[in-house]
């Protein structure tokens, strides 16, 4: 009889301490495989997280290679700048498009686990900012699995737990110590949920988007096209509905929750404003340089160019005010 033996965990800011506490409390004979995604800055060196978690508790932690077959009693940690997905009896490590502005991202791991193992999956969201993981928990719950979030009252950063609580169907909201006890119970408890018979093909399709195994031009099966463009590649965004949640994905595979889309749009707008400010300042400087050459022989041209440079200065000041006002 199947048990809850596939445990997927997502965390971001404040997540290392929560993960250490969780691993410290887990028993050595836990009959489950654990998979961890922690948002990390892009780096060229291997992550220190597997070593940290390996020392924190009795279970062995490691960074898997692509197509590594997983075992019970092991913790598999996504490497930097790579998504980790679950297929039947092995993991995939891929450099697919970013989701929610991250690679690795929590949602692709959760979504792939839900599609591959359905009600056997336990999904956990720990401390972190914004809302990565909420859509993944929705997928797990829809496929009959168990959903858990760290109690925001004890999380160092409440964004991810709170977003999951408000947008997904959550079975348990617990402090980390009690999550460890729950996992021990679930790993020995027969599965009670069931995988829906229909309507989940989109989970498989989105997993294939992450591995770039899908024809990215065929987007209509996922959702409806919008008037918005992807802030990462300027392609059209399609709107996807997960229950009451809205998500967005472009034809090259970039995917966003509402919060991550707004954050990426703000960053793109700031970059554009700085580029415009640079262009205005450069043109004003060029006009003054030319004006200086005509100051003696052609005073009218000198005055004209100085006036144009002054107009550009005024426009540049407007952009500076926008940039410092934090309204973008």
Pair (69, 140) in one structural domain: yes
Token readout for 160 is 């991810």
Tell the burial category of 217 from Cβ atoms under 10 Å away from its Cβ (0-12, 13-18, 19+).
exposed
CB count in 10 Å sphere of residue 13: 16
Distances (CA, A) of 151 to 15, 38, 72, 173: 13, 18, 27, 5
204 in any annotated domain = no
pLDDT at 110 over 70: yes
Pair (265, 255) in one structural domain: no
- Where is the domain boundary, 259, 279, 298? 259
The angle that helices 134-142 and 106-117 make with each other, rounded to 10 degrees, is 10
Full domain range(s) for residue 321: 261-325
Band (pLDDT 50/70/90 cuts) for residue 130 is very high
Question: What integer is the mean pLDDT of 216-230?
Answer: 82
Question: What integer is the mean pLDDT of 290-304?
Answer: 88
38 in any annotated domain = yes
Instruction: Give the domain CATH number at 142.
Output: 3.40.50.180
Question: What integer is the mean pLDDT of 54-65?
Answer: 97
pLDDT tens readout for residues 192-216: 878 887 667 788 888 887 887 766 6
pLDDT score, position 151: 98
Pair (38, 154) in one structural domain: yes
64 in any annotated domain = yes
Pair (74, 144) in one structural domain: yes
Pair (82, 132) in one structural domain: yes
128 in any annotated domain = yes
**pTM above the 0.95 mark?**
no
pLDDT at 245 over 70: yes
Pair (232, 272) in one structural domain: no
pLDDT at 90 over 80: yes
200 in any annotated domain = no
Distances (CA, A) of 82 to 41, 93, 195: 11, 6, 28
Pair (79, 178) in one structural domain: yes
81 or 44, higher pLDDT: 81
Bond preceding residue 78 cis, omega within 30 of 0: no
Question: What integer is the mean pLDDT of 242-254?
Answer: 88
Do the Cβ atoms of 165 and 149 come closer than 8 Å?
Answer: yes
The mean pLDDT of the chain is 92
Q: How many domains does the chain have?
A: 3
pLDDT at 25 over 70: yes
- Where is the domain boundary, 259, 284, 316? 259
Pair (43, 81) in one structural domain: yes
Band (pLDDT 50/70/90 cuts) for residue 274 is very high
308 in any annotated domain = yes
pLDDT score, position 77: 98
Token readout for 186 is 């679930």
pLDDT score, position 218: 67
User: What CA–CA distance (Å, rounded) separates 46 from 55?
Assistant: 17
Question: What integer is the mean pLDDT of 27-40?
Answer: 96
Band (pLDDT 50/70/90 cuts) for residue 82 is very high
pLDDT score, position 215: 62
Question: What integer is the mean pLDDT of 101-116?
Answer: 96
Pair (37, 172) in one structural domain: yes
pLDDT at 241 over 70: yes
108 in any annotated domain = yes
Question: What integer is the mean pLDDT of 89-110?
Answer: 95
User: What CA–CA distance (Å, rounded) separates 193 from 17?
Assistant: 31
Do the Cβ atoms of 271 and 319 come closer than 8 Å?
Answer: no
Distances (CA, A) of 113 to 29, 50, 109, 168, 242: 22, 20, 6, 17, 16
Pair (104, 234) in one structural domain: no
pLDDT score, position 214: 66
pLDDT at 179 over 90: yes
Pair (112, 254) in one structural domain: no
SS (H, E, C) 252-305: CCCEEEHHHHHHHHHHHHHHHHHHHHHHHHHHHHHHHHHHHHCCCCCHHHHHHH
pLDDT score, position 216: 60
* Percent of the chain residues topping a pLDDT of 90: 74
Pair (102, 228) in one structural domain: no
Band (pLDDT 50/70/90 cuts) for residue 34 is very high
32 in any annotated domain = yes
Q: Which residues are catalytic?
A: 12, 39, 132
């Amino acid at each position: 009889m199947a048990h809850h033996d596939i445990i997927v965990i997502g965390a971001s800011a404040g997540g290392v301490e929560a993960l250490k506490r969780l691993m410290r409390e887990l028993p050595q004979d836990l009959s489950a495989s654990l998979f961890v995604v922690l948002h990390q800055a892009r780096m060229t060196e291997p992550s220190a997280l597997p070593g940290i978690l390996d020392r924190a508790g009795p279970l062995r932690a490691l960074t898997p290679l692509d197509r590594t077959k997983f075992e019970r009693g092991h913790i598999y940690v996504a490497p930097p700048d790579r998504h980790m997905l679950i297929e039947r009896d092995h993991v995939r490590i891929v450099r697919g498009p970013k989701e929610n502005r991250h690679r690795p991202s929590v949602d692709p791991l959760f979504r792939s686990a839900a599609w591959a193992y359905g009600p056997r999956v336990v999904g956990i969201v720990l401390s972190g900012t914004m809302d990565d993981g909420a859509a993944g928990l929705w997928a797990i719950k829809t496929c009959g699995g168990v959903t858990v979030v760290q109690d925001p009252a004890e999380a160092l950063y409440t964004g991810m737990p709170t977003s999951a609580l408000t947008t997904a169907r959550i079975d348990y909201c617990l402090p980390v110590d009690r999550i460890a006890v729950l996992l021990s119970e679930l790993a020995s408890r027969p599965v009670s949920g069931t995988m829906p018979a229909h309507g989940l093909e989109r989970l498989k399709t989105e997993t294939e988007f992450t591995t770039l195994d899908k024809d990215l031009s065929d987007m209509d099966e996922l959702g409806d096209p919008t008037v918005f463009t992807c802030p990462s590649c300027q392609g059209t965004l399609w709107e996807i509905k997960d229950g009451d949640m809205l998500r967005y994905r472009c034809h090259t595979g970039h995917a966003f929750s509402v919060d991550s889309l707004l954050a990426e749009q703000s960053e793109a707008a700031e970059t554009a404003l700085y580029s415009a400010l640079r262009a205005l300042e450069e043109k004003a400087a060029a006009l003054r340089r030319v004006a200086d050459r005509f100051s003696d022989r052609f005073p009218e041209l000198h005055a004209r160019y100085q006036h144009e440079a002054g107009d550009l200065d005024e426009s540049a000041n407007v952009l500076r005010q926008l940039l410092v006002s934090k309204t973008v």
